[in-house]
Amino acid sequence: MQQTRWLLSYLTINKIRMRCFVFGILIAIKHNKQERFIMRTIALIPARSGSKGVHNKNIKIIAGKPLIAWSIERAMSSQLIDEVFVSTNCKKIAKISKKYGAKVPFLRPESISDDEATTETAVEHFLGFLEKSHITVDNMVLIQCTSPVRAPKRFDDAIKFFSDNTYDSLVSVAESHRFYWKNLESPKAMYNFRSRPRRQDISKDDLSYFETGSFYIFSTEVFKRQKNRICGKVGLYVTPENEMFDIDSLAEFSICENILSNSKGVQSFAA
């Protein structure tokens, strides 16, 4: 009898404790109606209207599909990108982007979409949207849709390289074997023209690289502090020559269309 009373008392106490626990959860839910959603890596593709060099180039048909579609589809096929977003001020670009699978949660304000607006401004605006939406993102792949040529696994390989080396930011680059000069009024060579090196004689340490602009990867936390896509510990990710093009003219448009139309050209992976 005594054991029975003890058991009933034990069950009653634990039932009260459980009710208090559940009640505490309900109160927490009431005061925090939306929990934070965490994503490891997302892609952001800025694409405003009003291009000058090539009219409406972001949605101009190239090799059978809108220019921006090539970047969206590459990002969507990545195993390491959780979600693909497009930031644009144009309803038509937004509609086409959604058709190819990207998320377009808003139209970017015109005040940060004119010729004076920087890409960093678009990124800051987008991060503000994520904060208001209770979404936490560790890293961002910033993709330039005017560079449509990329190998199928390019983003996954670059993200892995970024993570393995614990970089804060990563820049896509290509090797440069050109001899540059600057200042037309007072010409100055950017190399030693008295000892012009042959391409095969240039050592690895003396190789030059240029930003392709194709994509960048960075920690969102470090970006917030430094307000720049190139921040903290920087890494260079070398891409092959056929991925270096940034369409800003009809000539570059034709070159990229030719590469995209040739399946073998797009498959090239190694730099």
- So which residues are the catalytic ones? 196
Please give the Cα distance from 230 to 217 (Å, whole number): 9
Q: Sign (positive/negative) of CA torsion 229, 230, 234, 240?
A: positive
Give the three-state DSSP class for 149: coil
Please give the Cα distance from 241 to 212 (Å, whole number): 10
The DSSP letter of residue 129 is: H
Give the three-state DSSP class for 105: coil
Who's near 115: CB < 8 A, 6+ residues apart? 50
Helix residue ranges, H only, the chain: 2-31, 67-76, 91-99, 119-132, 154-164, 220-226, 250-261, 263-267
> Could you tell me what percentage of the chain is helix, strand and coil, using 3-state DSSP and rounding each to the nearest 5?
45, 20, 35
Beta-sheet pairing, 61-62 with 37-46:
unpaired
